[in-house]
Structure 1
Amino acid sequence: MITGPLSAFDHRMAVFDSDDGFVAAALPFLGEGLGACGEPPPVAIAAPHNLDLLRDALGRDAKDVTCIPHTDWYTGSAANAVARAAAYLTAHAGPGGRIHLVMEPVWSGRAGRSARETTEWIRYEAFANLLFAPQATTALCAYDTRTAGPAVVAAARRTHPDTEVYEDPLRLAAELDAVPLPSPPAGAWPLREPHAAAVQRWAAARGLAAADAELFAAAVAETAVALAPLADDALLWGEAPACVCELRSVRRLDDPLAGFVPPTASAAGPGLWYARQVCAYVDIRDDADGATVRLQFA
């Protein structure tokens, strides 16, 4: 039985290379959650095959564990995963966010399928330590070396406080952002006023479905408001689904968490929060003269 005062976010990591290894890591963790006084049922978010393994290993206790296929949880960008976790804690966690979560990313899907995806996932794992710091949530991130690969696992270790190579999240984010963005293509289309209607027409002409073109256009317009005043024309390039818009502000953002935290009631609009929910990638680079924000729809 676990007793005592509520603690801060407990962010752990388990690495395994077999079915038995997954069960050996997840089973005692879920048992810890089942024994936590006054805590809601623990949650396992994992591959369907691994959920079946857990149900068999849990036996009669399986009815007291919430099982969610990870393909139902990790359905979009890193910012989507942050929003989904926050919503789940609000709806299901105990006082102070108390709950135990086993969380296995989808490495055969978007997360980790490329170096670009891996960068965003590592940013998500690092920022989780800041975004959920006030919560008494206990999370075990499960990494299967058969699908995640050694480079991903090595990077993920730097985002979990229970490892010997843990890095400060802001320092790690600065390292990720030190990589320059590729230059826009020579044929990028300049747009002096990035109004939603103009961007939507452009995106539709590049092959985005009507609904997607509307979402992308709204993300661009919201970002333009958040960055105002803009320094240069917006630039648009690419073909569906990878339509891209780059905007340049005369001021720096100086906030690594920009767009990962919901806007306050006094904000002019959803801004970068909306852009991060809609777009697969939102890259921000500050320099001495302002900030560059690049949105890519998919």
Structure 2
Amino acid sequence: MTAQPSPSHPHAGSRSPSRSPGTFDHRMTVFSTDEAFVADALAFLAEGLAAPDEPPPTAILAPDRLDLLRDALGAQARHVALVPHTDWYTGSAANAVARAAGHLAGHAGPGGRAHLLMEPVWNGRAGRSPRESAEWIRYEALANLLFASAATTAMCVYDTRTAGSVLVEAARRAHPGTGVYEDPLRIAAELDAVPLPPVPSGAQWLAEPAPEAVRAWAAGCGLGAADAEVFATAVTEAATLGRVTGVLLWGEAPGCVCELSLAERVDDPLVGFVPPAAAEPAPGQGLWYARQVCAYVDVRDASGGGTALRLQYA
């Protein structure tokens, strides 16, 4: 999440744009050298340290970047929470929504006031495939809606040596103030327009998502008992979204897949992303639970009407 670089300083991602009180300030900083990163990071953290009614700023970064920052901060490092990004981003992009919501609920100042310097693991899970990267860009875009009412200032870190130019340009569209910002719903619709892999001919069909049937199928495909239970629960929770007219199951552990056919259209692009009162995944949270425990959850319009809801466990 980053600020608009100025023409005179292409890495100036720390200057705060004007905004209404209580609104999410979502920035990004783009750089290709360690020196440029340190300059922007220090300016951003200094802004956070000077902000009234806020906790100490938090930097969620790659371990080697934390070392650079710690050295540059010197004695001030004790006033900044330094978190390895592999400890923060431990799962899917949907998990990152829960982590951010939980952090703000437990640590932010009034109205969600906090400064967060954030770097997804672009050289790890977030960048391991075009599909995975697309889900993180979705997260970047939808964050503008999910956290719109929070007085949080977040700056996302993009190192062109790690993220690459294609990913950086996609991320610019998800950050206000970059000059190419797009409506988050438009970005989500574009991502949903990319076809999913076709359902294989050998997929098993069920009339309804009975938990015991899904659990038995998953166990037969190689999932352990605990994972089979979680997967079956995710399917059952996802099924609460609408009237199910059919269930298809395919794949092998850990990549078990279930596609639910729903009779009605689901038009809410934020469905399953809005954190419930209890952010920890638990039965009874519907599609939020499914998104938290599955690697991918896709909600697509079905060709004959209704909705195709696809869950992939890993």
How does the TM-score come out when normalised to structure 2? 0.89
CA distance in 2, matches of 1:293, 1:198: 18
- Is 1:166 equivalent to 2:211 in the alignment? no
For each residue in 1:155-175, what CA deviation from the matched residue of structure 2 results, as whole angstroms up to 9, or x when unmatched? 000000020110000111111
What corresponds to 1:289 in structure 2?
305
CA distance in 2, matches of 1:25, 1:208: 45
Q: Pick from 66, 70, 77 the counterpart of residue 55 of structure 1.
A: 70
Structure 1 unaligned regions, length at least 5: none
CA RMSD of aligned residues (A): 1.7
Deviation, 1:52, is: 1.1
Q: Pick from 116, 130, 152 the counterpart of residue 115 of structure 1.
A: 130
What corresponds to 2:257 in structure 1?
244
Count of aligned residue pairs for this structure pair: 292
CA distance in 2, matches of 1:74, 1:166: 24
Asked if 1 retains the 8 angstrom alpha-carbon contact of 2:208 and 2:244, the reply is: no
For each residue in 1:148-194, what CA deviation from the matched residue of structure 2 results, as whole angstroms up to 9, or x when unmatched? 11111110000000201100001111111112222200000111221
Letter matched to residue 177 of structure 1: D
SS at match of 2:90: coil
Asked if 1 retains the 8 angstrom alpha-carbon contact of 2:53 and 2:110, the reply is: no
When residues 181 and 92 of structure 1 are mapped into structure 2, their CA distance, relative to the original with a 3 A threshold, is: same
What corresponds to 2:199 in structure 1?
184
CA distance in 2, matches of 1:210, 1:13: 42
CA distance in 1, matches of 2:132, 2:199: 20
What corresponds to 1:151 in structure 2?
166
Identity, in percent, stands at 67
CA distance in 1, matches of 2:264, 2:86: 39
For each residue in 1:198-240, what CA deviation from the matched residue of structure 2 results, as whole angstroms up to 9, or x when unmatched? 111111111112211111110001111222x112x20000011
> Aligned runs of 1:4-43 on 2, under 5 Å?
6-43=21-58
Asked if 2 retains the 8 angstrom alpha-carbon contact of 1:13 and 1:162, the reply is: no
Structure 2 unaligned regions, length at least 5: 1-15
For each residue in 1:266-286, what CA deviation from the matched residue of structure 2 results, as whole angstroms up to 9, or x when unmatched? xx9311100000000000112
In terms of mean alpha carbon deviation, does 47-56 or 4-13 score higher?
4-13
